[in-house]
Amino acid sequence: MDRTQNHTQPSRIERQLAHLKLISRLLGHELHAQTGPRVTLSREELGEIQTSIDLFIEELVKKRGSLAAGGELEVQAVPARVN
């Protein structure tokens, strides 16, 4: 085992998965709190879910791009739909 590694800091994978853990906890909380057949989320909650997923995707694309081509890929932002 590498003695220079600090075990108190989360690994890179744990930091990347933190976004998905937040989404999972939010959805689990809403499922538990709302007992009916339908679940209602606010625009703010949906925005937070979208932001978390976007951050996760950007990190993975950057990682994949740096490993495959030695460079970074640019991620285009997608505008939110307003109905």
Tens place of pLDDT for every residue, the chain, 83 residues? 555 555 566 777 787 788 888 889 988 988 999 988 898 989 998 898 898 888 888 888 887 776 665 554 455 666 666 65
Cβ neighbour number for residue 19 with a 10 Å cutoff: 19
Q: Which helix (H) or strand (E) holds 29?
A: helix 12-33
Rg, the chain, Cα only = 17
* Burial (CB count <10 Å: 0-12, 13-18, 19+), residue 56: middle
Listed by start position, the domains of the chain span 12-68
Inter-residue contact 65 to 71 (CB < 8 Å): yes
pLDDT (tens digit, 9 = 90+) per residue, 31-47?
A: 999 988 898 989 998 89
Which position has the token pair 């879910």? 49
